[in-house]
Amino acid sequence: MLRACVIDFNGNWDDHLPLIEFFYNNNYHSSIGMEPFEALYGRRFRSPIGWLKMAYSLQKSYTDVRRRELEFDINDWVYLKISPTKGVMRFGNKGKLNPHYVGPYQILRCISKVVDELELPNDLASVHLVFHVSLLNKCVGYPTSIVPLECLGVNENISYEEVLVELLNRKVWMLRNKEVVSVKVL
């Protein structure tokens, strides 16, 4: 084994001597019917490669608990996730209080099992149309029944004008020494 290593390592075989010893002690020997490490310590050697495989399997099992299989069909309506990171402007929105999802948008085609292409409006023309399914959230219900914020008449200072249509009911409640008027308004 040393002769083969001297030829392969071109004269600096002494640098690789620990690797040769490791290989020799963890290889099966037919004369003793086991590995020398197992004969000496009574158990098999656990290499770091096995530790990495075990760590990977543990991480995978932890991740699989939270993982959900997402599959969307063509013409489904989905919301698109925009993460509100501090100082980052995405899709024209900036700040913590902006919505986490925008939309709903229709799926034009399914490129693969985990990638879909969306039909975005013209104001998002600079955004790429293809998204991973982890960034999509299924729209439950009909998108035509969703009222857009633009038609609600919300002013710039986040206020709106209240318009009284009709008083449906009026009741006066007596609390200890105080009168409280309760009104039901349409």
State how far the Cα of 169 lies from the Cα of 174, in Å rounded to an integer. Answer: 17
pLDDT digits (tens, 9 = 90+) for 107-121: 888 888 888 888 888
pLDDT score recorded for residue 94: 60
C-alpha angle 143-123-133 in degrees, rounded to nearest 5: 55
- 184 located within any domain: no
- 106 located within any domain: yes
pLDDT digits (tens, 9 = 90+) for 37-54: 888 888 877 766 666 677
Higher pLDDT, 131 or 91: 131
Sign of CA dihedral 152, 157, 160, 161: negative
Query: How many domains are there within the chain?
Result: 2
- 103 located within any domain: yes
Give the model's confidence band at 141: pLDDT under 50 very low, under 70 low, under 90 confident, else very high.
Answer: confident
pLDDT score recorded for residue 123: 77
My answer on whether 86 and 141 are in the same domain is: yes
CA 163 to chain centre: 43
Cβ-based neighbours of 7, under 8 Å, separated by 6 or more = none
Phi and psi (nearest 5°) for 65? -65, -40
pLDDT digits (tens, 9 = 90+) for 153-180: 666 676 667 777 788 888 998 888 889 9
* Residues 129-142, mean pLDDT to the nearest whole number: 83
My answer on whether 61 and 115 are in the same domain is: no
Of 93, 122, 117, 95, the residue nearest 106 (C-alpha):
117
pLDDT score recorded for residue 163: 73
Give the model's confidence band at 28: pLDDT under 50 very low, under 70 low, under 90 confident, else very high.
Answer: confident
Domain boundary among 17, 46, 66: 66
pLDDT score recorded for residue 115: 86
My answer on whether 16 and 57 are in the same domain is: yes
pLDDT digits (tens, 9 = 90+) for 63-105: 778 777 778 888 888 888 876 545 555 555 566 666 778 878 8
DSSP for 79-122, please give it: EEE----TT--BTTB-STTS-SEEEEEEEEEE-SSSEEEEE--G
- Structural domain boundaries enclosing 134: 77-148
pLDDT score recorded for residue 84: 53
Tokens linked to 3: 């002769």
Q: Is the pTM of this model over 0.85?
A: no
My answer on whether 18 and 40 are in the same domain is: yes
